[in-house]
Each structure stands twice: as C-alpha cells, then as structure tokens.
C-alpha cells in the first residue's frame, strides 16, 4: 500500500511507485510460461518415424530448477511433468484426438497421465466428495462441503497441459503431461519409456506406435 503523507507532495514519486509496482506484477505474472518448442528431433529423447514424417520427443522436468516454471512443486510431491513435443514434417495433419500417452516404468508399470484432481488429492488431501458428519438423533447426517480445488494446479493445467488435438503439416506442437512417480524409487526414469498409441494421419489411418526411451535423457 502506498501512503502519501503530504497532499502537496509532487505526484512524480507516486506515479513512479505505481509504475514500479505494475512492472513487478507484470514480471511475476510472466514467470509461468510454457517454453517455446523446438523441432522434436533436437531433444535428447525422441522417436522418429520416417515413413510417417513424424517425430515425437519427451523431456522430463525432473529437477526443482526446471520445475520452477510451474506454480506448484510437482517433483517434490511425487509427480513428473514431461514436456511432449510433436513435429509433423509431412504434408497432411495428424490427429491426437484418440491418442494414449503412457509412462512405462522399467518394471513394466503402465501409468496414465494424471488429472488435476489426482494431484490435488495428493497435495491437499481432499476426497472430492466431502465428509458425512453424524448428528444426534433425530437430526439427519450433515454433509460437509469438499475443499476448494487448488487454484494453482488448475492454472498450471490450463497453461501447460498438452492440448493440441491436431498437428498441422510442417508444424510443431508441445505441452506437458504429469505422471505419478510414487512407488517407482529414486530413479524412475531409468529404463523407462513414454509410449504413444492411437495417433492417426489426415485420412484416419492409425500410425505405428511411438516409444520414446527416457534413458537417452539421463
């Protein structure tokens, strides 16, 4: 809060302070931005299908330093954000409308991408349905309201989650999916892969599945 102690005080300091405050707010708001994607073949872990003219890369955000682009510390809470980059070098669009993108651990565990409520449940211990509070008879039980979903998680999913259903010809699309690493040990990426199935070309033909080895990232 800015306090002006003297009404006759020149306006410049006040205007300057407001400008600084606005600039700081703007800079803070711009901290959380998705990184611009490069061609998928330039990342350490990728799978390229020459006949389909498609390359898909996966870059785990497995450190606190990389995790800082998000509003929430996912790594600290057992979730792995993975940046998925899809480059279509062909002349026809490809569709990910029905795509399944699973994390496969070295032991063969198949893990689907987490939803916001999965992360909220882990981090805020919500059940989603509210608890039933018993009351003395003859009063009926009263149901408590569930906790409000974590706004920061909702904003992260809105800003970062992979959402490109179609990748146009000669273009690249990217975004994050979040995977639950709980129970996979200290090195969940070792020997793991990211598998993508049910991708289709512009004619509706299913593409051969992609398997991205995450060992290359390590």
Range 17-30 average pLDDT? 38
Mean pLDDT of all residues in the chain? Answer: 81
User: pLDDT digit string (tens) for 91-119?
Assistant: 999 999 999 999 999 999 999 999 999 99
What's the pLDDT score for residue 5? 36
Phi, psi of 88 (to 5 degrees): -105, 105
**pTM of the predicted protein model:** 0.76
The proportion of the chain whose per-residue pLDDT surpasses 90, expressed as a percent, equals 65
Look at residue 167 in the predicted model and tell me its pLDDT.
97
Q: Please list, in sequence order, all residues whose beta carbon lies within 8 angstroms of the beta carbon of residue 175, skipping any fewer than 6 positions away.
A: 34, 83, 84, 160, 161, 162, 163, 164
Q: Which CATH number fits domain 35-216: 3.40.50.2300, 3.30.9.10, 2.60.40.4110, 1.20.59.10?
A: 2.60.40.4110
The rounded radius of gyration (Å) of the Cα atoms in the chain is 23
Q: What is the pLDDT of residues 129-141, one digit of tens each?
A: 455 555 555 555 5
Identify the residue with better confidence: 175 or 13.
Answer: 175
Which residues neighbour 153 within 8 Å (Cβ) at sequence distance 6 or greater?
A: 71, 72, 116, 119, 120, 123
Spans of all domains in the chain: 35-216
């Amino acid at each position: 809060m800015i306090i002006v102690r003297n009404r006759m005080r020149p306006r410049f300091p006040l205007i300057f302070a407001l400008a600084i405050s606005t600039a700081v707010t703007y800079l803070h708001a711009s901290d959380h931005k998705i990184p611009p994607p490069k061609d998928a073949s330039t990342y350490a872990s990728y799978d390229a299908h020459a006949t389909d003219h498609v390359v898909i890369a996966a870059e785990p955000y497995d450190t606190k330093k990389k995790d800082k682009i998000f509003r929430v510390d996912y790594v600290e809470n057992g979730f792995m954000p993975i940046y998925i980059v899809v480059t279509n070098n062909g002349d026809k669009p490809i569709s990910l409308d029905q795509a399944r993108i699973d994390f496969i651990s070295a032991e063969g565990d198949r893990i689907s991408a987490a939803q916001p409520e999965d992360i909220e449940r882990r981090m805020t211990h919500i059940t989603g349905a509210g608890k039933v509070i018993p009351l003395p008879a003859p009063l009926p039980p009263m149901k408590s309201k569930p906790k409000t979903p974590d706004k920061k998680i909702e904003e992260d999913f809105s800003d970062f989650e992979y959402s490109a259903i179609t990748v146009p010809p000669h273009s690249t699309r990217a975004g994050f999916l979040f995977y639950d690493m709980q129970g996979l040990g200290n090195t969940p990426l070792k020997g793991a892969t990211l598998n993508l199935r049910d991708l289709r070309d512009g004619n509706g033909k299913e593409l051969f599945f992609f398997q991205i080895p995450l060992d290359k990232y390590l």
